[in-house]
Amino acid sequence: QVQLQESGPGLVKPSQTLSLTCTVSSGSITAINYYYAWIRQAPGKDLEWMGTIGFAGHTYIGPSLKSRISISRDTAKNQYTLQLSSVTPEDTAVYYCAETGPRPAYTLLPNGYQWWGQGTQVTVAS
């Protein structure tokens, strides 16, 4: 069974950069046709796909966040990382990392991700 675990600060100040890491405990993040996403859910709102990094290292970013988001990976550690710059209180949410399982292409639909981390609460406040 695939296990994903998010890690990072629970509190970030406005204008700072949020950095979260997802550690994938089984399988390789370079395995062909696997895609790894960051998805968040703000209070009272639906799940929001933020971006995905694919098995070859290509990244796909949601248009509303494109200017502020970066997704990278460390294949030696089997981890991938989210960086979200210039955060505001509106970025307060539970952040999830998730994996698709094998599929022919990435998806921006949260229900296309089969395996999820438990989520980590991030609060943006001064």
Residues 6-20 pLDDT 10s? 999 999 999 999 999
Up-side HSE of residue 52: CA atoms within 13 Å toward CB? Answer: 21
CA dist 46 and 94 (Å) reads: 11
* Farthest-apart Cα atoms in the chain, separation: 43
Are the CB atoms for 52 and 109 separated by under 8 Å? Answer: no
Q: What average pLDDT does the segment 81-92 reach?
A: 98
Helix extents (H) in 60-126: none
**Is pLDDT at 118 greater than 90 in this prediction?**
yes
3-state secondary structure of 64: helix
Output the six-digit token pair for 32: 């062909």
